[in-house]
Homo-oligomer: A and B are copies of this chain.
Amino acid sequence: MIISDKILTKIIQPRPLQSHKGDFGRVLTIGGNINYGGAIIMATAASVSSGAGLVTCATNKENLTALHARVPEAMFVNYFDKIALSDSIASADVIILGPGLGDDIRAQEIVQVCLTNLRSRHTCIIDGSAITIISQNTHLKELATTSAAQIIYTPHQMEWQRLSHILIPEQTTSTSQKIQAFLNATVILKKYHTEIFHKNRLISTLEIGGPYMATGGMGDTLAGILGGFIAQFNKNHNLNEIIDAAVYFHTYVAQELAKENYVVLPTKLISQIPAVMKKFE
């Protein structure tokens, strides 16, 4: 199915008058080592701007100050503190695991802590380095595949090759869907005309977007918007449609900005989220 902007009108409904921040969900972002701190900051900012009720960022302590300088709305947890990390997972509704996490041994441990703490009420978006880590570790892959939580992978084609063992030229709808089913997860395969393999075997395709989005940080921003949308719209809509809406919305904002910009910077995209959402309410 080709996603259209109708999905935005459907999902981005007026909020119930009597509501408080708890009603719009808790997002936990996990990532950002010392080299890639910007990635988790962008994912976090995108979740905040897209309307999650409360957002916590579990990251390397080196990223604390830059996080608050850009997004004081978010809370901080040191991701090496396993107790604090487990507690944060326990109180989160949606977890975004992976932006800027890196793939060293400590990152692997964080992925393990996350996967072992997932419960059926969780949705976990597995992005970036976390996909690579899971691809390379049979135990973690088993944990993810058998998780009671809703798992959403957001690989680009090379990451999908690692995770699915399908070489990029052989990544067809049917080969990809077979592995997706085995993974027991939604797969958002990011590419020219992104495909979304839903768990009920429906496939959604994105036909908007363009090369103005080909810049570092766009994927982190998508992960953040997915988190924000799922956290707040989960009660009243089914997950497939929320995912389609988030993916479409991310690109729609970029497309709008691209009318006036040769490239669309993720931070610029993030700043426009609340205003563009309003247009579809």
- Using CB atoms and an 8 Å cutoff, list the residues of chain A in contact with chain B: 12, 15-21, 23-24, 34-39, 41-42, 45, 48-55, 62-77, 156, 191-192, 210-212, 214-218, 258, 260-268, 274-275, 277-278, 281
Contacts and interface: CB of A to CB of B under 8 A. Distances in A.
Given A65-B66, A66-B72, 14 more contacts: A15-B211, A19-B214, A37-B64, A38-B72, A39-B72, A42-B72, A45-B72, A52-B215, A53-B214, A55-B216, A69-B69, A72-B267, A73-B217, A75-B216
A64 B34 contact: yes
Contacts of A24: 214-215
Contacts of A192: 17-20
Contacts of A68: 37-38, 41, 63, 66, 70
Given A262-B277, A275-B260, A210 B15 contact: yes
A265 B48 contact: yes
A156 B20 contact: yes
Contact of A262 (B34, B265, B278): B278
A140 to B, nearest CB: 24
Contact of A264 (B16, B34, B274): B274
Contact of A77 (B21, B35, B258): B35
Contacts of A19: 192, 211, 214
Copies in the complex: 4
Contacts of A218: 21
A129 to B, nearest CB: 12
A21 B74 contact: no
A78 to B, nearest CB: 8
A112 to B, nearest CB: 23
A42 B211 contact: no
A263 B277 contact: yes
A71 B275 CA distance: 22
Q: Which of A45, A55, A62, A278 has the most C-beta atoms of chain B within 10 angstroms of its own C-beta?
A: A278
Nearest to A72: B38
A278 B261 contact: yes
Nearest to A70: B69
Nearest to A214: B21
Contacts of A63: 65, 68
Given A65-B65, A214-B53, A216-B21, A72 B41 contact: yes
